[in-house]
Amino acid sequence: MSHSQTLSEASLRRLSPLDGMKAANLTALARKITVNNLAADRTLFRAGDTDEHTIWLISGTLDLSEGGRTVAILRGGTPEAREPLSATLPRRYTARAIDPIQYVTIDSALLDTSITWDQTGIYEVEDLAGAFGNGEVCDWMTALLQTPTFQRIPPANIQAIFMRMQRVPFRAGEAVIKQGADGDCFYVIARGKCTVTRETPLEAKGIRLAELGPGEAFGEEALISEGKRNATVRMLTDGELMRLNKQDFHELINEPSQQWVSSSEARQIIERGGRWLDVRLPSEFQNLSVEGATNIPLCFMRMKLASLDRDVPHVVYCDTGRRSSAAAFILMAHGIDAYVVRGGTASVEAPMKTGGAGVRR
């Protein structure tokens, strides 16, 4: 398979439902769509697949089969190929290339969100980009809109977020936020790269935690938890950041994206296969915790994301809800379904253990 060319907007307009989108919005979406090649006699997808991507056949011939029987032969460029392939999930058919094919694919959630904004008339990428003085579609915008967190935000909030952001230039080596400082703003990288470091008693210069690029965001943890900055973010190159103040962040991004649950709702999620996640410090966890919970302190959440099962929901808790809501925001931004227990440990009605002895409340 290769991803070496893009499809013209004229070609995208031959596909449904892209044919009904406004020009500026299709331009933005087109940057996330590339042409893929598949050799003859290779399988594109199988019946029962649940991969959440929308796929269109551009050229070549596909065999669509169900239960081992061919139910249709589809050729690129025909009226039938205007529609997405086996769009409902799980997929009903198996698709096999009869001869070499070209196809395009896009994240289904991004497509649905983009079409929703396009149809409501309140999301105009061209207008939003123009508000920042360049008049061009911004790659950082489309990258940000593709994140799971932004796909949870009501369309009415999207335009307000971009319009309230301030563009701030930074030089290479300049600190954007410093560890130990109060949280005041949420940041998105528009241009350039940043490094994230955390000082420790053994590493005064700081341990390098991550490198961030355009469309990636930071600074939300201190805003949600009402705590101090737990890391320093410094420009690796010259660049520009988009800044949103604390009040606007809470009103437009954090509150709409959080999934708060009661103790009884949390137990139901666990009974359906979810997992408890305690984001307090190890000493707090050892003193009192939910039986079977995993302990990942908030300050290590980004570093430990790979250890979490992305296919199951996580019920996150701390003592008050501040740290757990900050952790849930990080999880959801990385595509992990997360729920926050309202009221923290005091409200959790689940088997608890304290000091090594199990107790029930």
The confidence band for 44, taking pLDDT boundaries of 50, 70 and 90, is very high
Q: Is the pLDDT of residue 250 over 80?
A: yes
Pair type for strands 175-177 and 43-45: unpaired
157 or 59, higher pLDDT:
59
pLDDT given at position 355:
63
pLDDT given at position 358:
37
1 or 242, higher pLDDT:
242
151 or 72, higher pLDDT:
72
Q: Is the pLDDT of residue 174 over 90?
A: yes
The confidence band for 21, taking pLDDT boundaries of 50, 70 and 90, is confident
Q: Answer for the pair 312, 326: CB distance below 8 angstroms, yes or no.
A: no
Least confident of 1-5, 89-93, 143-147, 226-230: 1-5
Range 242-247 average pLDDT: 94
Range 119-137 average pLDDT: 47
Which of the four CATH numbers 3.40.50.300, 3.40.190.10, 3.40.1080.10, 2.60.120.10 does domain 125-255 have?
2.60.120.10
Least confident of 27-31, 95-99, 187-191, 284-288: 27-31
Range 193-198 average pLDDT: 94
Q: Answer for the pair 236, 309: CB distance below 8 angstroms, yes or no.
A: no
Q: Is the pLDDT of residue 285 over 80?
A: yes
C-alpha angle 199-201-202 in degrees, rounded to nearest 5: 90
Least confident of 54-63, 67-76, 209-218, 342-351: 342-351
pLDDT given at position 120:
55
Range 128-151 average pLDDT: 62
pLDDT given at position 101:
96
Query: What is the percentage of the chain residues whose pLDDT exceeds 90?
Result: 47
pLDDT given at position 2:
44
112 or 83, higher pLDDT:
83
pLDDT given at position 3:
47
Q: Answer for the pair 130, 141: CB distance below 8 angstroms, yes or no.
A: no
Q: Examine domains 125-255 and 258-359 and report if their fold is the same.
A: no
Query: What is the percentage of the chain residues whose pLDDT exceeds 70?
Result: 89
Q: Is the pLDDT of residue 125 over 70?
A: no
The 10s digit of each residue's pLDDT in 149-163 is 887 787 778 778 888
Range 44-51 average pLDDT: 93
Q: Is the pLDDT of residue 361 over 50?
A: no
The confidence band for 84, taking pLDDT boundaries of 50, 70 and 90, is very high
pLDDT given at position 77:
92
Q: Is the pLDDT of residue 129 over 70?
A: no
Q: Is the pLDDT of residue 110 over 80?
A: no
Q: Is the pLDDT of residue 246 over 90?
A: yes
Q: Where are the domains of the chain?
A: 5-110, 125-255, 258-359
pLDDT given at position 127:
47
User: Which CATH class for the 258-359 domain?
Assistant: alpha beta
Enter the CATH code of domain 5-110.
Answer: 2.60.120.10
Q: Is the pLDDT of residue 190 over 70?
A: yes
